[in-house]
Amino acid sequence: MFEADNWLKECDGFLIDLDGTLYRGHDAVPHAKEFVEWLNRTGKKYLFVTNNSSRLPRQVAAKLREMGIPAEEEHVFTSSQATAMYIRNHSKVVTPAVYAIGEEGLLSALTDLGCRWEEENPDYVVVGIDRDFTYQKLMTASLAIRKGAVFLGTNADKRVPTEKGLVPGAGSLSRAVAAASGGEPVWIGKPEARMVEYSLQRIGTTPDRTVMIGDNLETDILAGINGGIRTVLVLTGYSSRRDAERSSHKPDMILEDLSEFLRCFEIE
Ligand SMILES: [Mg+2]
């Protein structure tokens, strides 16, 4: 039987990955519902932290609810929201001028935090996933970066899993812009420390009492390590126990699934 380390029992903040951790494709991972119900019942502070920049938080919450997992939009934190926070924290003007390559989730997050659209001379060029990426967009972004705009990438994921296989992710589009412009993006999403830092600001917990739970060593676990919090790898998604043994990014705990997590708290 699995014995919980004391540190996990003392955690009151939970940063939780989505794909591979709470669901796979269109189906909830077993015990995901019970896990989120437990978070609610015990009054834990938590965020679903996703690199996906395309969707609105309310769309992410709706998708979770469709799979039977209780979720509200205030519990969702996307790389698009983090990118908008970065701009708000760094901009010297109240209404930063931004050119963005991205979808609804990114454009809306930027607008919500007071950015205005500017193609010729933006202060920032932001690149997220955009399934309508074109040469024209690549050119507009590149020219702006060459004129001095700060270049931000919502996340560095080169490929994302779909039913068709691995398809280009936001990181591939950012790298196209990097090649064309000669600039290098500031990355925002996992595994960057700032994604954890902003998440902690959102839920108001301290690093020593917050844990990152995810299925990917290279994004979730490394984000936790970079952000100075503890990490739990669940083996329901991308990374295997073998991967963890070989990786230099060691999680503090490895669990087969979320039922094992719940058992940690219920066997006293
Ligand atoms: Mg994942």
Active site residue 19: yes
Pairing of strands 13-16, 45-50: parallel
Query: Rounded to whole angstroms, what are the CA distances from 59 to 19, 54, 119, 159, 189?
Result: 15, 10, 28, 22, 19
Residues 97 and 46 both lie in one domain: no
Q: Which of 67, 82, 261, 268 is nearest to 170 (CA)?
A: 82
What pLDDT does residue 268 have?
43
Rounded distance, CA 230 to CA 24, Å?
24
Give me ligand 1 centre to Cα 17, in Å: 5
If you ran DSSP here, which 8-state letter would residue 74 be given? G
- Write out the residue range of the structural domain in which residue 220 sits: 6-51+190-266
Catalytic residue among 5, 19, 112, 220: 19
Residue 112 annotated in active site: no
117 vs 224: CA distance, rounded Å:
33
The answer to whether residue 71 sits within a structural domain is: no
pLDDT tens, residue by residue, 4-36: 678 898 999 999 999 999 999 889 999 999 999
pLDDT digits 0-9 by tens, 233-251: 999 999 999 999 999 999 9
- Tens of pLDDT, residue by residue over 65-88, are 999 999 999 999 999 999 999 999
| Whether 244 and 162 share a structural domain | no
Look at the chain and report how many structural domains it folds into.
2
Lowest mean pLDDT among 38-42, 161-165, 213-217: 161-165
Q: What is the CATH number of the domain that holds 245?
A: 3.40.50.1000
231 CA to centre of ligand 1 in angstroms: 13
Assess if residue 77 is contained within a domain.
Answer: no
Higher pLDDT, 181 or 162: 181
